[in-house]
Amino acid sequence: MRDLPVVILAGGFGTRLAEETEVKPKPLVEIGPEPILWHIMKGYAHFGYCEFYIALGYKGDMVKRYFLDRQRLSGSMSINLATGEIRRREKPWENWRVHLVETGLNTLTGGRVKRLQPHLSGGTFMLTYGDGVSNVDPREVLQFHRRMGKVATITAVRPPARFGGIVFDGDLVKEFSEKPQIGEGWINGGFMVLEPDVFKYLEDDSSVFEVHALDRLAADNQLAAYRHEGFWQCMDALRDKNLLNKLWAEKQAPWKVWD
In the chain, what are the domain boundaries? 6-74+81-249
Assess contact for 234 and 132: CB atoms under 8 A: yes
Q: Which of 9, 36, 21, 16 is nearest to 255 (CA)?
A: 36
Given this model, what pLDDT does residue 91 score? 72
C-alpha–C-alpha distance, residues 162 and 214, integer Å: 20
CATH classification for the domain delimited by 6-74+81-249, as one of 3.90.550.10, 1.10.3720.10, 2.40.50.140, 3.40.50.720: 3.90.550.10
Which of 6, 17, 13, 11 has its CA nearest to residue 234? 17
pLDDT of amino acid 179: 56
What does the pLDDT read at residue 25?
Answer: 95
Confidence (pLDDT) at 194:
98
The answer to whether the CB of 52 falls within 8 A of the CB of 101 is: no
Per-residue confidence in pLDDT tens, the chain, 259 aa:
467 999 999 999 988 898 888 999 999 999 999 999 999 999 999 999 999 999 999 999 999 999 999 888 877 888 999 998 888 777 777 889 999 999 999 999 999 999 999 999 789 999 999 999 999 999 999 999 999 999 999 999 987 655 567 778 888 988 877 654 444 578 999 999 999 999 999 999 999 999 999 999 999 999 999 999 999 999 999 999 999 999 999 999 999 999 8
- Distance, in Å, from the CA atom of 44 to the CA atom of 191, rounded to the nearest integer, reads 10
Please report the pLDDT score of residue 59 as a whole number: 96
Identity of the residue numbered 86:
I
How many residues are given for the chain?
A: 259
